[in-house]
Amino acid sequence: MSAADGDTGLLEGLIQQNLLNEELLGQLGDHAERLPDLEQLRQLLRMELLAEEALLPLLSERYGLPLLAESTASLSPFPEAGRCREVYAQTGIVLMGDEQARIGVLTVQADWLAMNRLELELEPGSPIQWRLTSHARLSWLVAAMAHPQRSQDASALEAAAPKLQSLLEEAVHHRSSDIHLESVPEGVQVRFRVDGILQPGPLLPKSLQPSLFSHIKLLAGMDIAIRRRPQDGHAAYHSRSGREFDLRVSSMPGINGEKLVLRLLDQMPVQHRLEALGFLKQDMEALEQASQAAHGLILMVGPTGSGKTTTLYAILNALNSSERHIFTIENPVEYQVSGITQVSVNPEQGLSFAEALRASLRQDPDVILVGEIRDEETAEVAVKAALTGHLVLSTLHSGDAVTAVQRLLNLGIARDLLADTLTLIVSQRLVRKLCPHKEENPDCPRCQGTGYAGRIPVYELLRVNRLVRDRIRAGYTGRELVEPHKDLHFQTMEQTAQRLVQEQLTNWREVRPLLLAT
């Protein structure tokens, strides 16, 4: 094999074997030509332009690094888990084995120069046998290393990894937000939630269930021994297309066995732009005006899954600049955004919303997002923060804008205080957006023939201006707060729905259930 002999360059060898071509190399740009071959190859892999698995046999031969065997069931971290994690973090190399046989596992991307150093460091003892493997396989080893007591099931678990990846890729491809894996007598029924509606997926064989479920739970840092109690966990997922997701996994015991739900949270902040969300023009202005103010309380209300957090993050993204200190306090943090301070609260472990909020106020913030106001203490601190020169954004579980005011009063906030701080209330739901395709087309790539692609908010928006403030102070409750008046800026859900249907963004079938429910 010519690629293995020393006279042929690595890249040249790959080209001869049709594993690489000039066009792909060109994607690296001119500056890359001066880099060593191996470094160019690493860049191509990072850009996901090459399939790593296909290259491994050639690299193995060329560099005299045998491939890692299929089964690693008998391996455990060596010399000890803590040191192993440290080595992995520094070099990308995983050390495994025991006193007799030590194995160092590395990928193309690892720090190969560290091989010598580790050999010296781990002497005396038998020399390290180096093994080459793929990034995916190494990630699995690292996950298993974090849960060494489970490694006896290792090879079965490895079979589940490609299945999980194909499910995740399918979900990403169809813009699915959740994957449901349900134990049924015939096997595991997969369903994908797309634009808010569950769509049937494949029925997986029963034999795959134990390893697939264990693999998912391991990745998400959950205890695979627990099957009869609900659990949750999370993991990062990098899709083939280069997008990053936070994978939220929850498990639930069902009568036919466990049920897992995997939620895919897109970490790409660019999607969270206000203009892209679909608010009508005059309402966008109200949102912008309230969010540009130096202080005040902006509330998003609606049930779980109504897009409240997405809208709040769109506001945060618009405000995010080096001149503003932005804090988010959530349970847990939903989207990671650079440039802002994010705190995950965990009431079970003793850090409550109210406590984190009070601590954040000592750090001189300009804008604070409080994930949810649901108790008197949080309500009180949030309102005080809004009163003392901070812009506070939060959510509330309530049916509409008017009941949100009542909720805060019920949580013990004084009328005057509320009137002085509240600036805007948006109550929103999501409906499916019509696919812009013109004719009936079952093969439409955007909607797969369903006729819908993406979702838009249908919302009610109340601007708390002088008129509404006076009404709150005067003790108006319920619909009295929004009695028609020339100064009232109140866009009802029905009005929004009408506009969206008129503009053919959605249809009555989608909005009618919402209007009937409110």
Chain positions contacting Zn ion, by CB under 5 A = 435, 437, 444, 446-447
Give the integer Cα–Cα distance in Å for 349 and 346. 5
Q: Which is nearer to Zn ion, 312 or 453 (CB)?
A: 453
Q: Which is nearer to Zn ion, 362 or 438 (CB)?
A: 438
Q: Which is nearer to Zn ion, 28 or 444 (CB)?
A: 444
- Type of residue found at 382: A
Tell the smallest beta-carbon distance from residue 23 to Zn ion (Å): 32
Tell the smallest beta-carbon distance from residue 174 to Zn ion (Å): 13
* Structure-token match 């005396």, residue found: 124
Tell the smallest beta-carbon distance from residue 432 to Zn ion (Å): 12
The residue count of the chain comes to 518
The DSSP letter of residue 67 is B
Q: Which is nearer to Zn ion, 390 or 432 (CB)?
A: 432
Tell the smallest beta-carbon distance from residue 173 to Zn ion (Å): 15
Q: Phi and psi for 124 in degrees, rounded to 5? A: -80, 165
| Under 8 Å between Cβ of 364 and 325 | yes
The vertex-335 CA angle with 334 and 339, nearest 5°, equals 130
Nearest to 49 by CA among 81, 25, 79: 25
Q: Which is nearer to Zn ion, 14 or 447 (CB)?
A: 447
- Maximum distance among all Cα pairs of the chain, rounded to whole angstroms: 89
Tell the smallest beta-carbon distance from residue 435 to Zn ion (Å): 3
**Exposed (0-12), middle (13-18) or buried (19+): which is 486, by Cβ within 10 Å?**
exposed
3-class SS at 105?
Answer: strand
Q: Which is nearer to Zn ion, 24 or 444 (CB)?
A: 444
* Structure-token match 């040249």, residue found: 12
Q: Which is nearer to Zn ion, 130 or 192 (CB)?
A: 192
Tell the smallest beta-carbon distance from residue 444 to Zn ion (Å): 3
Q: Which is nearer to Zn ion, 93 or 435 (CB)?
A: 435
Left, alpha or beta for 128 (phi > 0: left; psi -120 to 50: alpha)? beta
Tell the smallest beta-carbon distance from residue 504 to Zn ion (Å): 13
Give the integer Cα–Cα distance in Å for 308 and 17. 52
Q: Which is nearer to Zn ion, 254 or 445 (CB)?
A: 445
Tell the smallest beta-carbon distance from residue 510 to Zn ion (Å): 15
Left, alpha or beta for 139 (phi > 0: left; psi -120 to 50: alpha)? alpha
Tell the smallest beta-carbon distance from residue 382 to Zn ion (Å): 43
The DSSP letter of residue 436 is -
CA 100, chain centre distance (Å) = 42
DSSP secondary structure string for all residues of 379-427: HHHHHHHHHTT-EEEEEE--SSHHHHHHHHHHTT--HHHHHHHEEEEEE
